[in-house]
Amino acid sequence: MAAATGNWSALTPMPSMDDSEFERWADLLEKRTGVIVPVTRKAFLVTSVRGRMRETGHTRFEDYFRDLQKVPEGAIEWTTLVDRLTVHETHFFRHPPSFDLIAKDWLPRVAGNGNAAAQTALHAWSVGCSSGEEAYTLAMVLDRHLSAIPAGKVYFGVTATDVSLPALAVGRAGLYPRQRIEEIPAEYRQRYCEALDEDSFRIGETLRKRVGFAQFNLLDAARAPLKRLDLIFCQNVLIYFARDRRRELLATFANLLKPGGLLVLGAGEVTNFAHANLRRVDHRQVLAFVRNT
């Protein structure tokens, strides 16, 4: 990999990207992550690749592309580039009706008081967790509502995975800019967040310990080291994938759930989907399925 060359590379004009060059980069991203960049998002891809080329001292797309194929340096560089080429926007409590469904409808059924088949441990997966807000939201909701069930203690853990190492590092630290705390309803804020200084707050240690972050590429989902999950939460990820790939992933999610397990997707992210082992939850605002057998 070429060394960064400071001011010189910042001043060097960057090449423009013609359509066949764009296809080459878009193909690379799709082959390695499943993420599709439509031509309408070409500017985003070009800016991201060029930005990284500046930092690594490359002036030609083909040189940078060739270096990315090198073993092992190319693989190391890819871990940085993939972070730039993927969208990481996320929020705490991003889609409140989905978390309400988990808290008020699903949880009482699988862990409710008086339920003979009630579980004593729950394992959730936040798929494409970005910087962790979704995973911590799940942990807050599970902790708050499970602790309200009087009989018996129900343990839970959340596995949070993403392809982006920088995003996972933020999640692992559990440290966020102060203004983001506004996304968290007051009752949860008081219980699970600690103000650090004027600029930041941190997720409390007890909750952080419930969430494990790991790098995992969804293209390997069929070989996921997870099984018999109670809850799979996958929002704002499948939209970046091709239709066939989405369906393959959904079938894999269905296999990874245990009977009674819940799959929550982003509303409108998948249409006309049916699976023999999944029953659609009847809800106007939430796209969710329960595994029946």
Ligand X SMILES: C[S@@+](CC[C@H](N)C(=O)[O-])C[C@H]1O[C@@H](n2cnc3c(N)ncnc32)[C@H](O)[C@@H]1O
Binding-site member from 107, 134, 140, 203 for ligand X (CB under 6 A): 134
Nearest distance in Å: CB 64, ligand X:
21
Output 203 or 218, the one with its CB closest to ligand X.
Answer: 218
Output 89 or 199, the one with its CB closest to ligand X.
Answer: 89
Q: Which pair of structure tokens corresponds to residue 24?
A: 């080459």
Output 35 or 141, the one with its CB closest to ligand X.
Answer: 35
Site for ligand X in 33-52 (CB under 6 A): 33-35
* Stretch of 36-44, 142-150, 157-165, 269-277 contacting ligand X, by CB under 6 A: 157-165
Binding-site member from 9, 56, 90, 98 for ligand X (CB under 6 A): 90
* Spatial CB neighbours of 4, under 8 Å, sequence gap ≥ 6: 55, 56, 57
Nearest distance in Å: CB 171, ligand X:
10
Binding-site member from 207, 237, 249, 290 for ligand X (CB under 6 A): 237
Output 149 or 172, the one with its CB closest to ligand X.
Answer: 172
* Stretch of 69-77, 103-111, 198-206, 214-222 contacting ligand X, by CB under 6 A: 214-222
| Residue 159 contacts ligand X per CB under 6 A | no
Output 9 or 128, the one with its CB closest to ligand X.
Answer: 128
Nearest distance in Å: CB 283, ligand X:
18
Binding site for ligand X (CB under 6 A): 33-35, 86-90, 94, 128-130, 134, 162-164, 167, 217-219, 235-237, 240
